[in-house]
Structure formats: structure tokens, C-alpha cells
Structure 1
Amino acid sequence: MATVAADGRPVTVATWYLLEEDGHVTLGLDAKRARLKHLHADPRVSLTVLARDDWYSHVSLQGRVLSITDDVGLRDIDRLARHYTGDAYTNRERARVTAQVEIERWHVWGKLRDL
């Protein structure tokens, strides 16, 4: 996940995501992380999803965060954690938020282009 810092530099971090049926992307974020400040100031975001067996093959998405809401009861981060690990999110102490991203453009590279 890439965001834009206040001074204009790009900042990237690994992030759990889910592509929803409505075409939006759900992100679960720690409520105290710097990237959340970046998104409030500039909602532009980019995600790159790598193929599991071939990191050269990927889908890259660019879009904007439409909303950032409190993750009440950690429902969204639990859904993300179950998707990635099979279990609920383990850290129940820190506040979480959910960001909904609208995809504005995307491209595919490598063997994924043939799907």
C-alpha cells in the first residue's frame, strides 16, 4: 500500500486488503499509524497485489479512500485476518479503523494478463 506523506514523498507498507463484491477495496488500519494521517490529508492510495507463485506477475490499483470509519468490535480486521490466517485478529488492545477505497485505475502484468 502506498500513501502520500505531508511533504509529498511516497510511503509504502504491506497491508491486508479485501476486494469486495461491489468493486471497492477494504483496508484494515491501526488507528495510530502515520499512514492514516497521510490518508486524511491526501486520500490517494496505490496497492500492488503479487501473484503467490510469481512475484513478477501482479495487479496494481490506484484509487482514493472514500471513507475511514472506526472498526467497532474489530469486525473488519477479524474478517481480514480470517481471510489471511484463518483466525480472528490477535491484537485486541489497539483501536482499528476501516478504509474503503474506490479503484480509479488498474493494470495487470506478467502471467496474470492471460486470465
Structure 2
Amino acid sequence: MPPAQFYHWYDVNLRMKLLGIKTKNVAKMNEAAAVELGADILGEVVILSVAIGALALEYGRRSKNDSDKEVRQQEILLNIEKQISEFETIVKDQSSHLLKVKELIQNKTSSTSNSSSSTK
């Protein structure tokens, strides 16, 4: 059974079942109508295939862009974490230097006050 004749037979049977009518025999389409219906079906299949292909390509492109974006965000996050770690090290170093300077100032002021009280 050619595809157009099968489609016609299936379409008529489905419509009749939906209407609640039993079908015994479905009249065959004439050759010209079958060729036209077959061409319509083929055209719709081609259009549907192109649309599905375009959707698949777009989905793949979008997925790649999303994964690339996620990789870039991970790199930015790692860079920020590295900078924070470096800043923590700098702050610790500066804190220790500040403590040393405070100790030196305290030692200097205490030695100055001790020497000024001993000279009196």
C-alpha cells in the first residue's frame, strides 16, 4: 500500500472511530489525489526534519555556551579565592609587623621614661 493510500485509509478509519461509526471498506483515492497527498506528506516530513535538526543544533550550541559560561565563572571564583588567600597572607604579615612596631614603640617609650627618671 503506497504511503498516501495508507495515510488516507488510516485517516478515514480514525475519523470514523471518533464519530462512533464502523468502517468496512475505505474507498481508495484516485492516483492524482494520492500523488498530491504523498507530496504534501513528504514536504511536511522534510520541513519537520529541518526544524528538528535546527532545534537540536540550537540546543547543542546553547548547552556548549552554558558550559563555557560555567567554566568561566568557576575560573573567576578560583581567581577571587586566590586573591582572598593572598590578602589574608598580606594582612597576617602586616599584623605581625604592626605588633613588632608597637613593641618597639613601647620599648622605646619605656626606655625613654626609664632613662629620664634615672637622670633626675
Q: TM-score, normalised by structure 1?
A: 0.20
Q: TM-score, normalised by structure 2?
A: 0.19
Higher relative contact order (CA closer than 8 Å, sequence separation 6+): 1
Which of the pair has more CA radius of gyration?
2
Between Structure 1 and Structure 2, which shows a larger proportion of strand residues?
Answer: 1
Between Structure 1 and Structure 2, which shows a larger proportion of helix residues?
Answer: 2
